[in-house]
Structure 1
Amino acid sequence: MNDEHSRALYDRALSVMPGGVNSTVRAAIEPYPFFVQKGDGGHVIDADGNRYVDWVLGLGPLLLGHDLPEQVRAEVQRTASEGPMYGAPTEIEVDHAEFVVRHVPSVEKIRFVNSGTEATTSAVRLARGHTGRNKIVVMQGGYHGAQETTLVEGDADNPRPSSAGIPQSFSEHTIPVPFNDEDAMREAFAKHGDDIAAVLTEPILCNYGIVYPEEGYHEFLREITDEHGSLLIFDEVITGFRVGGLGCAQSEFDITPDLTTFGKIIGGGFPVGAIGGKAEIMEGFTPAGDVFQAGTFSGHPVTMAAGLETLKFAAENDVYDHVNDLGDRLRRGLTDIVADQAPNYTVTGTDSMFKVIFTRDGPAPSSLEEQCPAGCRQDPTCPRYDYSPKNAADVKNAETDRWRRIFWGQMKEQGVFLSQNQFECQFVSYGHTDADVEETLEAYKQAL
């Protein structure tokens, strides 16, 4: 494929932007990323005119694909034509809030912000303000935005900042434990339970290759936080309105968190974040309470229109049936391909998310009969159970360099755009077709 224009654009970008990008993950591909010119259904066209099946979808926000249905496009255009923004409340943000409260059982009140990072930052502040405690438990390797509380690595005994520019003293209030490890969580509460404001976790670990929870894990988190007077915060920035439909992943797992953070789909492809939860906790935000939170662009009318119309379209049409069916077909097809060509690897995902993790520890299972047919579910009876990733460290130990340096490029050459590293999710949209699935499975056969 010709990529001369993308190469020239990257050369220009390096002169005026750090690393040539405005978000670090975009530079993960070497020697340079391709620059997108436009989207078309479930595809993108790059700056050189090359066309790709797009399974990145803006890293998740585009549930409907790149072509917005007429009712969504019309409402976005109408709202934008009335004025960019006002710094004052609008009816559309009330409409959107009512829709979310109606469909997500745990959300009694909601506040819209401008990004997933802002949502989790505000949720952590609210949890600390509500409980009067300082410490936050997070999952090792989990990602909750570019904020000081969660840019932490190490373990519960030796947390440290994972980025320059963050004082060590900040990380002392964060307790990283492995996902799916009940014993580690019990130990953290045994040592610090009186000062733990909240446990913050994704219901499915989605920024580290898609790791499903062990059966009973979320029930355990709900019980231990209740026992110690701490809050349970679900980060549904990725899973919200994608896993479990309009009820989000928490409805699929039948868990009621105290607070939930949202992003991506809730804004219909425009910049957005949100915090929702129990009214008594949410009322802690100013001006009702004393936990400060504000933002010039919060509840932006164009974003609110895009998000609300996207969710309304999904509610009134076969969106979730379509994307989940294609996701299931992809994962089943990939499971067959991996069993034949790379039996050490693990297919992960659920609903409209999918990924192949290049797991490598130990020999492959001796038999793959009766394995999870459409993505790892942490089923103890599955022959892959002892080989599949249980936490972020397991994914990090996979062949991440091979995925990025060799496999991604081979898929690109076949016209398939995958997430830029081993850790990010891949997504299905309403704009994808059966033909896109078949083309992608054939590309995996060739690349693996």
Structure 2
Amino acid sequence: MNDDNSRDLYDRALSVMPGGVNSAVRAAIEPYPFFVQKGDGGHVIDADGNRYVDWVMGLGPLLLGHDLPDPVQASIQQKASEGPMYGTPTEVEVDLAEFVVRHVPSVEKIRFVNSGTEATTSAVRLARGYTGRNKIVVMQGGYHGAQESTLVEGDAETPQPSSAGIPQSFSEHTLPVPFNDEEAIRKVFEEHGDDIAAVLTEPILGNYGIVYPEEGYHEFLREITDEHGSLLIFDEVITGFRVGGLGCAQSEFGVTPDLTTFGKIIGGGFPVGAIGGRAEIIEHFAPSGDVFQAGTFSGHPVTMAAGLETLQFAAENDVYEHVDGLGEQLRSGLSEVLADQAPSYTVTGTASMFKVIFTRDGPGRDSLEEQCSAGCRQNPTCPRYDSCPKNAADVKNAETERWRRVFWGKMKAQNVFLSQNQFECQFVSYGHTEDDVEETLEAYKHAL
């Protein structure tokens, strides 16, 4: 496989961009990333003309794939032709806001911003402003963007910044606990309950290998935050409008948070973020309230049009039936492949998300008949239950280097593009086909 042009482009990029990239994860591919020239349905074509089945899908925003349906494309082109942006409100942002409010259980009002990071940063500030409290509980390994309040590692007793440039004093207001650990949550509320503004969690850990919640976990979070007067924030930047269809993951789990953050799909592939929730809380954003939040490009008309048309197309067509069906086909096929070739590994994911975690010390192949058939569901009766990941630490303890340094390259050599490390999600789009699934399953057989 020729990659001369990608190599030369990366050489140029190293001279003008730190690490040769504009987002750190893109440099995880060694010795250098391939540069994409264009997308085509469920595929990408790189600078050397190599064609790959693309399961990265821009790290999640591309629900419809790389070929946008005609009404979506037409709306984007119309808005772009009318002018880049105006610094004033436009009708299309009202239209998108009304659509989200109609379909997402927790959202009575919404504020659009420009990225998932900006959404979670604003949600944390809003929670603190609304409650008058300082501390935020987060899940270890959960990802809420490149913001000071959540770039924190360690535990609730010894939190510390996970990046240079963040003062230790900032991290003291963040309490990291393991996902799926009710006892750890109880402990932090016993010690800090009067100063906990919010619990911030992804409904499904999506940047740490896809970890599903144990039954009752989110209901427990809802109960304990209500009991202590804290807010429950669901970060649905990844799961929003992907898990649970138009109702998002919160409708899938039947738990309504106080605030929800969005990104990715809600902008139809363009830069976007949003914070939605109970009206009495959202109204604390300026100019109606005392929590400052503003942005020059917020509610950008092209992004709003892309998001609205994407969600309307999904509502009026068989998008979720298609992507969720292919997702189940992929996960079921992968479960069969692993049972035969790598029984200790774990298939994770739901709806149109999937991943194989290279877990260690799993059950033998003779005991897998009763396993979860299409991705781990934290089922106590499953023979994998004791070895499947329950939290981020379990994923980190898997064979992450083998995944990245050996397996990923073998898949690329078979023209299958997977996420750049074991921690990032992989996604099915409306542009994918059953042939793409079958080609990918064959590639897994050879790579494993």
Deviation per residue, 1:247-302 (Å, 9 max, x gap): 00000000000000000000000000000000000000000000000000000000
- For structure 2, which runs of at least 5 residues remain unmatched after alignment? none
Tell me, in whole angstroms, the C-alpha distance in 2 between the residues paired with 1:178 and 1:105: 27
Q: What RMSD in Å do the two structures reach over aligned CA positions?
A: 0.7
Find the counterpart in structure 2 of residue 384 from structure 1.
Answer: 384
- For structure 1, which runs of at least 5 residues remain unmatched after alignment? none
Tell me, in whole angstroms, the C-alpha distance in 2 between the residues paired with 1:365 and 1:170: 48
Deviation per residue, 1:337-367 (Å, 9 max, x gap): 0010000100000000000000014664750
* TM-score (norm. length: structure 1): 0.99
Find the counterpart in structure 1 of residue 225 from structure 2.
Answer: 225
Q: Secondary structure at the match of 2:390?
A: coil
Q: Secondary structure at the match of 2:176?
A: strand
Find the counterpart in structure 2 of residue 291 from structure 1.
Answer: 291
**1:132 maps to 2:120:** no
Instruction: Give the counterpart letter for 2:413 in structure 1.
Output: E
Find the counterpart in structure 1 of residue 444 from structure 2.
Answer: 444
Tell me, in whole angstroms, the C-alpha distance in 2 between the residues paired with 1:380 and 1:301: 48
Find the counterpart in structure 2 of residue 154 from structure 1.
Answer: 154
Distance 1:119 1:164, change over 3 A: same
Find the counterpart in structure 2 of residue 27 from structure 1.
Answer: 27
Instruction: Give the counterpart letter for 2:327 in structure 1.
Output: G
Find the counterpart in structure 2 of residue 163 from structure 1.
Answer: 163
Indicate conservation of the 8 Å contact 1:354/1:427, yes or no: yes
Indicate conservation of the 8 Å contact 1:347/1:375, yes or no: yes
**1:59 maps to 2:62:** no
Indicate conservation of the 8 Å contact 2:404/2:420, yes or no: yes
Instruction: Give the counterpart letter for 1:189 in structure 2.
Output: F
* TM-score (norm. length: structure 2): 0.99
Deviation per residue, 1:298-354 (Å, 9 max, x gap): 000000000000000000000000000000000000000001000010000000000
Tell me, in whole angstroms, the C-alpha distance in 2 between the residues paired with 1:286 and 1:364: 57
Matches within 5 A, 1:48-447: 48-361=48-361, 364=364, 367-447=367-447
Q: Secondary structure at the match of 1:13?
A: helix
Deviation per residue, 1:83-114 (Å, 9 max, x gap): 00001000000000000000001100000000
Tell me, in whole angstroms, the C-alpha distance in 1 between the residues paired with 2:269 and 2:363: 42
Q: Secondary structure at the match of 1:200?
A: strand
Tell me, in whole angstroms, the C-alpha distance in 2 between the residues paired with 1:415 and 1:404: 16
Q: Secondary structure at the match of 2:58?
A: helix
Indicate conservation of the 8 Å contact 1:365/1:384, yes or no: no
Tell me, in whole angstroms, the C-alpha distance in 2 between the residues paired with 1:421 and 1:364: 26
Q: Secondary structure at the match of 1:138?
A: strand
The size of the alignment, in residue pairs, is: 448
Identity of aligned residues (%): 86
Tell me, in whole angstroms, the C-alpha distance in 2 between the residues paired with 1:93 and 1:260: 18
Instruction: Give the counterpart letter for 1:49 in structure 2.
Output: G
Tell me, in whole angstroms, the C-alpha distance in 2 between the residues paired with 1:105 and 1:170: 32
Indicate conservation of the 8 Å contact 2:362/2:384, yes or no: no
Instruction: Give the counterpart letter for 1:125 in structure 2.
Output: R
Indicate conservation of the 8 Å contact 2:379/2:385, yes or no: yes
Instruction: Give the counterpart letter for 1:267 in structure 2.
Output: G
Q: Secondary structure at the match of 1:128?
A: helix
Q: Secondary structure at the match of 2:145?
A: coil
Indicate conservation of the 8 Å contact 2:232/2:258, yes or no: yes
Tell me, in whole angstroms, the C-alpha distance in 2 between the residues paired with 1:17 and 1:369: 50
Tell me, in whole angstroms, the C-alpha distance in 1 between the residues paired with 2:75 and 2:414: 36
Indicate conservation of the 8 Å contact 1:379/1:385, yes or no: yes
Deviation per residue, 1:166-201 (Å, 9 max, x gap): 000000000000000000000010000000000000
Indicate conservation of the 8 Å contact 1:365/1:383, yes or no: no
Q: Which moved more, 1:152-161 or 1:360-369?
A: 360-369
Tell me, in whole angstroms, the C-alpha distance in 1 between the residues paired with 2:302 and 2:440: 34
Instruction: Give the counterpart letter for 1:21 in structure 2.
Output: V
Indicate conservation of the 8 Å contact 1:61/1:269, yes or no: yes
Indicate conservation of the 8 Å contact 2:327/2:353, yes or no: yes
Tell me, in whole angstroms, the C-alpha distance in 2 between the residues paired with 1:241 and 1:216: 22
Indicate conservation of the 8 Å contact 1:204/1:239, yes or no: yes
Q: Secondary structure at the match of 2:367?
A: coil
Deviation per residue, 1:107-133 (Å, 9 max, x gap): 000000000000000000000000000
Deviation per residue, 1:216-243 (Å, 9 max, x gap): 0000000000000000000000000000
Instruction: Give the counterpart letter for 2:355 in structure 1.
Output: K
Tell me, in whole angstroms, the C-alpha distance in 2 between the residues paired with 1:374 and 1:362: 17
Indicate conservation of the 8 Å contact 1:39/1:45, yes or no: yes
Indicate conservation of the 8 Å contact 2:363/2:383, yes or no: no
Indicate conservation of the 8 Å contact 2:370/2:382, yes or no: yes
Indicate conservation of the 8 Å contact 2:119/2:261, yes or no: yes
Indicate conservation of the 8 Å contact 2:112/2:272, yes or no: yes
Tell me, in whole angstroms, the C-alpha distance in 2 between the residues paired with 1:89 and 1:362: 55
